Structure 1
């Protein structure tokens, strides 16, 4: 095993300590340079954003004024000032119109479906018949519910199905729930055609 003198060992430790101090200083300098680079990058991005906004604003104002001067053949140009309150009111009105349009679309879809049901042969599960029209039992506003008058009875049916198999499955579910007298019937133009096979 090689032998190291104590003085050489002390010198080696001093050199290691100096190297560690130099490394720490270099790390501090690297951290400082990184902070400076981040600051300059943020400043550059902010400056680019402000410049972009300025250019977009200038372009918008130029195109707006050019549009006003080219769209009006008048020699006099009227000043158009719109307050933020009036823009908010217009935005609110547009939102209300969109909502009304959605509601009208739903109503239109309802009437289209109703016309389809009146023209096509459909199947429904009749659950009850009454001599009197018992309006308190259910409302015509209920969807997938039919109220058909078959003299002298008023029939109440649930579900509007395109196929007999779907109606038969639904009838089985209703029987399981306790509607033992439920049966499947076919309808067209709002009138019952016939009573179908329950299975």
Structure 2
């Protein structure tokens, strides 16, 4: 008999994660361009077709948490609709930092991962594409919260500033760890400064001022 739907989905998720883990290990060891999809399939003990059933490209094998990051942003903002969009984003970031969520956690594995990314123009481009998608998502979530059009320019400005500050903070955390410092403590000042800059840029708007909300 086939496994029940819940178990079937769990097995698919486990297979997907196992393939991604093997791919990431090989790519960190040898470099993105030096590893083929066939080699990844062989190392994972599955067929090449199976790999493509889960991942449309080799880039997606490396950045296997793209969808999770976008979903996390949507759910985190939706859970804080009583706050201004800026406060909601700050609350989400603080929660991820305090709980040590993998998407913001900085350790030796993360450092090796991002070093590999930096050595590949293809992976750098994919990382920037993800940043752009997250920025678009955040801008639309902010606009919806403020009951403004999805393409509102002020929402776009705020989202761009906040996401850029997060990228800068994460890079600073990686740099701090390489010198034996505390990544979290290195990240916090830039995150706070980014939020303060956004507060100034969007002063008097519903994105930062509850009294301005319709």
- TM-score, normalised by the number of residues in structure 1: 0.16
Bigger-Rg structure (1/2): 1
- TM-score, normalised by the number of residues in structure 2: 0.15
Larger RCO, structure (CA 8 Å, separation 6 or more): 2
Structure with greater strand share of residues: 1
